[in-house]
Copies of this chain bind each other. A is one copy, B any other.
Amino acid sequence: MTEEQKGKINQMEDFFIDKIADNMTTYGVSPTVGRVLGIIYMNRKPMTLNELSEATGMSKTRMSQVVREMLDLNIAEKIFEKGVRRDLYTVERDYYQTFVSLFTSNWQKVINKNKMFDKKVKTELVSILEQAEISEEDEIKINHLLKETKEWVDYYQWLARLVDFFESGEIFKHVPKT
C-alpha cells in the first residue's frame, strides 16, 4: 500500500467530517462545533479535550467552549471511564437523533422565550381598550393587534406540537427512516 493510498483514506475521512460539519451549520451552530462533532464521530470513540485540540489544531480552551456548547445542545455527552482522569466526550452516533435534538432544542428555546409574551400584550391592549375616549381608528388598530395576538398564540401552540411530534419520534412513523 502506497503512502498515497493511505492519504486517500484519510482524505475520505476528512471529507466526511466536512460534510457533517456543513450539515450541522444548517442548525445554526458554528462551523467549529460541527467540525468537532464530525471528528468525534469519525473517531468512533470518546475523545479528550487534548485530543480534540490536537485534531482541530485549536486551543484547548476553545475545545472546552465548544464541548460545553455541544452539551447544552444535547449532541454530546461527558462519559466516565475508570482509570481515565481526563474528561471524555462522545457524540450521538445516530444522524436522525442528532437532527431531532438540534431541531427541538432550537425551537424549544424560542417557544420558552415567548411564553409570557401574549399574556402581557393582551392585558395591556384590553386595558387601553377599556378606556372611554378612544378614536375609532385606534380601536381598529387595537383590535387588529388582539387578533394578531391570537394568531401568534395559535402558531406557537402549533410549534410546540411540532417539536413534540419530532421529539416523540412520531415523525418517523410518517417519514420513515429507510
Are A26 and B175 neighbours in the complex by a CB distance under 8 Å? no
Q: Do residues A124 and B12 form an inter-chain contact, with CB atoms below 8 A?
A: yes
Main secondary structure of the interface of A (DSSP, over half): helix
Interface residue ranges of A1-29 to B (CB < 8 Å): 1, 5-6, 8-9, 12-13, 15-16, 19, 22-23, 26, 28
Total interface residues on A, using CB and 8 Å? 56
How far in angstroms is the closest Cβ of chain B from A139? 10
Residues of B within 8 A of A138 (CB): 1, 6, 9
A141 located at the interface, meaning its Cβ lies under 8 Å from any Cβ of chain B in the complex? yes
Give the nearest-CB partner of A174 in chain B: B174
Chain A residues in the interface with B (C-beta under 8 A): 1, 5-6, 8-9, 12-13, 15-16, 19, 22-23, 26, 28, 44, 95-96, 99, 106-107, 109-110, 113-114, 117, 120-121, 124-125, 128, 131, 133-135, 138, 141-142, 144-145, 148, 151-152, 154-155, 158-159, 161-162, 165, 170-171, 174-178
